[in-house]
Amino acid sequence: MADATADKVLNLNGKDYEIDSLSDEAKNILGKISLVSGDKQRINFELEKISFAEAGYINALQQVIDKNEQEKAQSDNEGEDSGQAEADNG
């Protein structure tokens, strides 16, 4: 992995290189590495945001399903109670 530090030294595979002494082609490639590293950080941040949003939607879905099940259970219980009351009166 390439690691360029503030004192303009590149550490590549355990060996240090002075960036100013690199060829123009090597400096160009180093610049591209820097750009794609920044892109990778931004993409990882976006992925993290998407993962949090997904978890929120999953939680919201579970809450809605739980609420619907509770309402259905209450409705079913009320129907049974009403049927029992009619049988008692009949």
Domains of the chain, residue spans: 2-89
Mean pLDDT of the chain: 90
Q: Is the pLDDT of residue 6 over 70?
A: no
List Cα–Cα distances, 62 to 43, 56, 57, 72, in angstroms: 28, 10, 9, 15
User: Mean of the pLDDT values across residues 59-84?
Assistant: 89
pLDDT at 4 over 90: no
11 and 2 Cβ atoms separated by less than 8 Å = yes
pLDDT at 80 (0 to 100): 76
Instruction: Convert the pLDDT of each residue in 33-62 to its tens digit.
Output: 999 999 999 999 999 999 999 999 999 999
In this predicted model, which residue has the larger pLDDT, 6 or 28? 28
User: What distance in Å separates the CA atoms of residue 23 and residue 10, rounded to the nearest whole number?
Assistant: 13
For the chain, the three-class secondary structure string (H helix, E strand, C coil) is CEEECCCCEEEECCEEEEHHHCCHHHHHHHHHHHHHHHHHHHHHHHHHHHHHHHHHHHHHHHHHHHHHHHHHHHHHHHHHHHHHHHHHHC
pLDDT band at 83 (very low <50, low <70, confident <90, very high): low
